[in-house]
A and B are shown apart, each in its own frame.
Chain A
């Protein structure tokens, strides 16, 4: 188990290092930072002085290492627009985003998984067809279209709910539903196909043949095995809690991380964009790591596999 944990941790660290390297490369490829920050009409001596002050005259590999060091110590630069630390700007937006993505995650899991299981257990029934139809719609209707349709019906036509902003909990209802429904559809589709695959396995037939009640077969044999692919998707959803609402936040003018990202991209506020990029990658890698560990819990074969291969 320790070895399993060790290799996973190493891979997670490597992936983070690659994201940092990626950020460094595109940052350098996108132009001379001194020139960008000082402006095109800055006097050459001033630009040169800036280069020396920020270490931009050093060889590229030393710049790379100092960049790495700065990021490890939490120095992610300042926003070019309001001069504050990029990390502060981003972190203060996180609660607003979580206020949308956490309830949405609850809807996805609470609606998607039961629907998928039910559809698989009643294959080809009308309920199965309904779940599949909704699941396909959930994939083909982009979130901005769904969001705007909800606004058109519930805010413009019926006037029940506000169309955007963040004044009260009622403002969160439409964005949460938009996010939740799309994700629930994806999850239902995955759960259904995972369940169907497991239900076709010989051990399910064996269990029912030896007289285990069907309910027990489902809860003790089918569900744990079908959980593995489903957990992967949920892991991805947990990993995108911080920046998974880019489009929906824009539709509903919700002041979260996603909205900040869109504005920062439009203004080419590179420090903020880079900060969000690293934060998202870190969240994603952590979520993947947890999923990997859960695999070990769910499937003992994966836990012992590296040891068996080693001896």
Chain B
């Protein structure tokens, strides 16, 4: 049975005047840009290599706790510079989160489109997979896969990429179905366009804003997941370092050198906070239906 066609709005309603961007969202953008610059320029701005040891200055405190400018954020048990490690950790964590977000969006959207295009068995299979991923908390699933396959950076990124795929799949399927009944997709199909063209050039641009909002909302969740796994020692493996593994390492020195842990912890909180603010703002702005 075909779905009831959605009412087509004949004339675009007059555009409401755009509200100015709230100051918190601006702050969020500034922080995010700062983090991106740090990640891109890590090799240039880092004062030391992140594995460089300075054995004469072990566990030295940061400047504001009576340390020296030699190590502005202090050093850890092996005399490694906390600032340098923080810079490289930001790079690793952001890289993983970006990679995983893109993989999740690609996989989810493709599966959603497949389900909408073929219907029938394919659709049922995709929906069954959605049920499956809803039956397990993602952290448990990720831990199980890491136990079975061991750990590598590629696996970690792909695994985190599976987080939230079902959200994209559901959105892409629903929107593709309603687009199919709206006429424009049928029109290009009548003109002889291939499915690639229909979905890539016509349906995708129409649902892009919803997908971008979902990506902004999934991004901080992936940062939190990666840092959680790395904190447990099951994510990013040494000598590589990420924000979560820095906190995990710093935990051993909680009483003697809390600065090892506080700098990466603050970075995680501020970054997820910034992206969440931007995501909420984008959602209210672009897609009031997604709540």
Contacting pair B134 A276 (CB below 8 A): no
**Distance between Cα atoms of A30 and B140 in the complex (Å):** 17
Give 1 or 0 for each of B261-291: 1 = CB within 8 Å of chain A CB: 1000100110011001000000000000001
The reply on A130 being an interface residue by CB < 8 A is no
Report how far A156 CA is from B261 CA in the complex, Å.
14
**Distance A281 CA – B149 CA, assembled complex (angstroms):** 20
- B36-44, B171-179, B223-231: which lies at the interface: B223-231
**Which of these, A18, A136, A274, A285, contacts B144 with CB under 8 Å?**
A274
Does the CB pair A277–B136 fall under 8 Å?
yes
Q: Is the CB of B273 within 8 A of A273?
A: no
Choose from A137, A149, A163, A250 the contact partner of B232 (Cβ within 8 Å). Answer: A250
Are B268 and A145 neighbours in the complex by a CB distance under 8 Å? yes
Check if B196 is an interface residue, CB within 8 A of chain A: no
**How far in angstroms is the closest Cβ of chain A from B1?**
11
Interchain CA distance A251-B125 in the complex, whole Å: 39
Partner of B132, one of A22, A141, A149, A261: A22
Residues of A within 8 A of B231 (CB): 142, 144, 247, 250
Q: Are A142 and B224 in contact, CB atoms less than 8 angstroms apart?
A: yes
Cα separation A113 to B169 with both chains bound (whole Å): 30
Q: Which residues of B contact A26 (CB under 8 A)?
A: 144-145, 148-149
Chain B residues within 8 Å of A246, by CB: 139-140, 143, 232
Q: Is A11 part of the binding interface, using a Cβ–Cβ cutoff of 8 Å?
A: yes
B261 to chain A, nearest CB (A): 6
Task: Determine the chain A residues whose CB is within 8 A of the CB of B228 once the complex forms.
Answer: 142-144, 247
Q: Give which listed residue, B135, B139, B261, B273, contacts A285 with CB less than 8 A.
A: B135
Give the interface segment out of B6-14, B15-23, B247-255: B247-255
> How many residues does chain A have at the interface if contact means C-beta atoms less than 8 Å apart?
54
Residues of B within 8 A of A14 (CB): 128, 131
Please, which residue of chain A has its CB at the minimum distance from the CB of B256? A156
Which of the residues B135, B137, B143 comes within 8 Å of A19, measured between beta carbons? B135
Assembled-state Cα–Cα distance A280/B42 (Å) = 41
B76 vs chain A, min Cβ distance (A):
16
Interface residues of B in 128-162 (CB under 8 A from A): 128, 131-132, 134-137, 139-141, 143-150
Residues of A within 8 A of B128 (CB): 14, 18
Whether the pair A140, B137 counts as a contact (CB closer than 8 A) is: no
Say whether B183 faces chain A, with CB atoms less than 8 Å apart. Answer: no
Task: Determine whether A193 belongs to the interface, using a CB cutoff of 8 Å to chain B.
Answer: yes
Within 8 Å CB of B247, what residues of A?
144-145, 148
In whole angstroms, how far apart are the Cα atoms of A273 and B128 in the complex?
23
Complex-state Cα separation, A156 to B265, whole angstroms: 18
Which residues from B are CB-within-8-Å of A27?
A: 148
Task: Flag whether A152 is at the interface (Cβ < 8 A).
Answer: yes
Residues of A within 8 A of B261 (CB): 148
In the complex, what distance in Å separates the CA atom of A285 from the CA atom of B137?
11
Assess whether B135 is in contact with A284, with CB atoms less than 8 Å apart: yes
Q: CB within 8 Å of B: which residues of A?
A: 11, 14-16, 18-19, 22-23, 26-27, 29-30, 136-137, 139-145, 148-149, 151-152, 156, 163, 193, 197, 239-240, 243-244, 246-247, 250-251, 261-262, 264-266, 268-270, 273-274, 276-277, 280-281, 284-285, 288
A-B residue pairs, 10 tightest by C-beta: A30-B148, A265-B147, A140-B273, A140-B272, A273-B147, A145-B265, A26-B148, A18-B132, A15-B135, A277-B144
- Could you name 26 residue pairs across A and B whose Cβ atoms are closer than 8 Å? A15-B132, A15-B135, A18-B131, A18-B132, A18-B135, A22-B132, A136-B273, A137-B273, A140-B269, A140-B276, A151-B254, A193-B291, A239-B137, A246-B143, A246-B232, A247-B139, A261-B143, A265-B143, A265-B144, A266-B233, A268-B150, A273-B144, A280-B136, A281-B135, A288-B134, A288-B135
Which positions in B face A, CB cutoff 8 Å? Answer: 128, 131-132, 134-137, 139-141, 143-150, 220, 224, 227-228, 231-234, 244, 247-248, 251, 254-255, 258, 261, 265, 268-269, 272-273, 276, 291
